[in-house]
Amino acid sequence: MNRRYARRLWLEDLLCLGALAVVLLLRPGGALSTPLAAAIGFVLAWGFLTLHAPSRVELSPSGVSFSRYGRTHTFAWRDVARVRVRRFPVGDRVLVRLLPSPPWRGRYWMGEGIEGYGEVVKELSAIAARTVPGKGP
């Protein structure tokens, strides 16, 4: 993985943790401090649970895996009915959706900093073009 990208991902998490510490220690918003702390905590927990911004993506003939925080979500192609790759005008990231999947899995924001980003997006886009609802890749 690109070291700069890895640092950016960790920096985002550290900034959220720092904001949480400030809110808990200084209580800057009075009555709003508790909901703000809860919201920041939720964002951190959701990121850890869903791995929605992976640091590594690996494709194989049998499936795809998304990894971050030393954890991995793995999907076997035989269980995937549809792959969707959505590009955005910003151009430095894509949203990959694997269906069917529960709310805490199957949606991943892939940034250009991921090793092999171009090849992975190209291959996932090709799989997405071949998938039709109800049929695997």
pLDDT in tens, 75-131: 999 999 999 999 988 778 899 999 999 888 999 999 888 989 999 999 999 999 988
Q: Can you say how many angstroms the Cα of residue 126 is from the centroid of all Cα atoms in its chain?
A: 20
* pTM beyond 0.85, yes or no: no
What pLDDT is stored for residue 33 in this prediction? Answer: 79
Residue 34 Cα distances to 14, 74, 79, angstroms: 20, 36, 41
Across 29-33, 38-42, 88-92, least confident range: 29-33
Half-sphere CA count of 132, side-chain side, radius 13 A? 1
- What topology does CATH give the domain 56-130? PH-domain like (2.30.29)
At residue 3, the pLDDT reads 78
Residues in a beta bridge with 116: none
Question: Which of 27-41, 55-69, 72-86 is the least confident region?
Answer: 27-41
Give CA torsion, residues 9, 66, 50, 133, to 10 deg: 130
Domain residue spans of the chain: 3-50, 56-130
